Amino acid sequence: MRVLWAPWRMVYVGCGDVRGECIFCPGDDRSRDEERLILFTGDRSTVFMNRFPYINGHLLVAPVRHVSTLNSLLPEEKLDVITVVEKSIDALKEVMSPEGFNVGMNLGKVAGAGVEDHIHFHIVPRWSGDTNYMTVLEDVRVIPEHIHTTYQKLLPFFKQC
């Protein structure tokens, strides 16, 4: 077996921000939004870029309120989260021109939820041929654009919201 060392993933594996915060709770301090890759925070929903994306433009939409189940959301929060998912898809279409999307949630540890106690949607833009031999043969993802470059491309769209 060959080993691919990726010590930078310990931040993710350690489940949380270095300050001990929930990675999906935006808090009131907007001065750290770029550092935390927060593109938008409204009254009920927030949009983050996934720090460990499957592909460029992988976004996460979470309710502002810290909840672990869909049943815990108030009706107005459910509507807002879905509306923000829709707006996020529109932003990705405008900025990155993907050919399709995978949108979903991982609920529960066995379903792949890395952070179980704060629900969130994944929005993954897709292009024809966006996987290559590295993923198939070596279980390695190749992300062609730096995450901060993608952040700067998407940010103007979310500032309009």
3-state secondary structure of 127: coil
Please name which of 40, 69, 112 lies closest in space to residue 49, comparing C-alpha atoms: 40
- Multiple choice CATH, 7-159, 3.40.50.970, 3.40.50.720, 3.30.428.10, 3.10.50.40: 3.30.428.10
Looking at residue 106, its pLDDT comes to: 87
Residue 12 has pLDDT above 80, yes or no: no
Using 50, 70 and 90 to split pLDDT, how confident is the model at 5? low
CB 96 within 8 A of CB 153: yes
Q: Out of 58, 66, 118, 120, pick the active-site residue.
A: 120
Percent of the chain surpassing pLDDT 90: 54
Instruction: Tell me whether residue 120 is one of the annotated catalytic residues.
Output: yes
Q: Whole-angstrom Cα distance, residue 128 to residue 117?
A: 34
pTM: 0.79
Residue 71 has pLDDT above 60, yes or no: yes
Kindly state the helix (H) or strand (E) to which residue 75 belongs, with its residue range: helix 75-96
Q: What is the mean pLDDT of residues 107-126?
A: 87
Please name which of 134, 120, 48 lies closest in space to residue 91, comparing C-alpha atoms: 48
Instruction: Give tens-digit pLDDT for 81-116.
Output: 999 999 999 999 999 999 999 999 988 888 777 788
